[in-house]
Chains A and B, each alone.
Chain A
């Protein structure tokens, strides 16, 4: 948008360019404004946590980073240079791998085929290049074992796995292909305490390995356990953007729970001792007797 970018990166270079940078990113779907003026910076060896309510725009944001959507406005830079991904393939080629909230798996396909879908390993030459089935099966199996699940049948269709197992397969896949940036959209949502623990350990292992991690979650406790940097998004705009050093778990929980709005509500509740609240439904005398059912 402004010409300052070229001078700051060209001459002075105050810090090394971040792995990923978003500047004033906006996204609209028809009339819906899903994101507006989002700035985000992801450095190597750091976990950036993105928090926010349902519908805040978190998934939309990571889909832009993953190359699934183009932003309507703003700039997206990788290693300091502007990019315009037209397909997730291009993001993957730059080492940016994503675990989508809906996991992006094909239920009827075997686990190992899903694992390598879009990034198939091949052997042979020319027109006879074909899938290296043995190697893909072995690697998929190994990577899944590392994550603590041991599927006896790597040929089972993904649709036959439990929600938690599917989640782990998706994470293992991203960990394997995410050479530089790992994006996880609510990865612990379908998991129990123990599997969540495994995921959190992976997030921190990825950071130790020097990757940039974007970790989206609803759970401030999970976020605070691994996060270096916290961004809270509300209705498509950044509400909070702070490093760990300037934030306590209580602050974060407070923000997540609605923060300022909760305070206002509390005030209101204290003022009106006998609040007049409209009944949620006009249950009386309308339509059939639903309560009887």
Chain B
């Protein structure tokens, strides 16, 4: 199509040279990666705990860290994609519980195979995501308000419906129901590699993070996600279906919430309806530590995975070092602050020429 237009002879050289950008070195190029800050952070945190906490050095401890990381990390995959797309989801923490409750109670109440409950929960989770996205694009309200409302409503529904259906605030044990063992194998089993036990969520986490990275970097949709997060109006003007991308991203978070909810359910057999509050901020923390910009259009899923890994190391490391568990949040908070400052600094340095 372009060939029809024969360009006028461009004049190379001369003042055009002034338009040239300075050439960036390979190292510089590496340093402009969004996840560099978190990678350095991960090495430091690892080194610190490795030095001070003897039990931290075992292979078993490492797989525990990976498991703790994966529980946050799976959600962080969806949350990071959404954040790159310019939005965030405060309802993600309780949506995990909603999903677990939906599967458990649906299967229990109607005495069905648990897989029916699992599929029902998938529909519920995708619907919650769709609703978040649809309300957002229809009302043009900021996602903070839309998902805060959703968070509060789900929190109320989680407890209210559980009390109505079960009579207490937690669901019944469903471990003896049909299909439970298979479902547990998919969502909450573990396997052994080189003599150490690894939870299956670790594997799923890697699969989701890898898939999301491929989509983000190598597909049309990935291009669109960066574009709607970076400049929504520009994206619309060149034909990107902005509303569909945003709704799709909220539904991706919904999918991850479904998966995490299924893990909780088949790991512990019951679900506590009041749980989940506050976790949404941990997912956001992982994405931001990993270099995602809160304002959108910048970041990677790999970074968010590293962010979740830092969280996992801190969480397990403090326990293994024999400290009081309550210090975890202090360190996670301090890490977040440090990461934001360092990431910002790296970005400006990298863009300087």
Contacts and interface: CB of A to CB of B under 8 A. Distances in A.
Same complex: yes
A118 B7 contact: no
B6 interface: yes
Given A88-B237, A131-B219, A131-B223, A162 B4 contact: no
Nearest to B20: A152
A210 B226 CA distance: 35
Contacts, number: 138
A202 B5 contact: yes
B220 interface: yes
B237 A131 contact: no
Contacts of A176: 1-2
B173 interface: no
Contact of B8 (A102, A116, A149, A202): A202
Interface stretch (A16-24, A46-54, A107-115, A284-292): A107-115
Nearest to A205: B5
B297 interface: yes
Given A108-B297, A146-B7, A176-B1, A129 B219 contact: yes
Contacts of A37: none
A133 interface: yes
Interface residues of B, number: 40
Contacts of A201: 7-8
A104 B24 contact: no
Interface string A185-225: 00000000010001001101110111100000000000000
A106 B227 contact: yes
A149 B16 CA distance: 7
Interface string A148-159: 111111001100
Contacts of B223: 109, 113, 116-117, 120, 131
Contacts of B231: 105-107
B230 A205 contact: no
A22 B17 CA distance: 43
A194 B15 CA distance: 9
A35 interface: no
Given A89-B239, A117-B240, A145 B227 contact: no
Interface string A138-152: 010001011111111
A106 B234 CA distance: 6
A9 interface: no
A139 B5 CA distance: 15
Interface string A40-75: 000000000000000000000000001010000000
B1 A148 contact: no
Nearest to A139: B2
A232 interface: no
Contact of B236 (A68, A95, A143, A156): A68
B230 A109 contact: yes
Contact of A150 (B2, B12, B239): B12
Interface of B: 1-2, 4-8, 10-12, 15-16, 19-21, 23-24, 214, 218-220, 222-224, 226-227, 230-231, 233-241, 297-298, 351
Given A88-B237, A131-B223, A139-B2, 18 more contacts: A68-B236, A87-B241, A95-B1, A98-B237, A102-B233, A102-B234, A105-B234, A107-B231, A119-B238, A120-B220, A129-B219, A151-B19, A153-B23, A156-B21, A164-B19, A175-B5, A202-B8, A205-B7
6 contacts: A89-B241, A103-B234, A106-B227, A119-B239, A145-B10, A175-B5
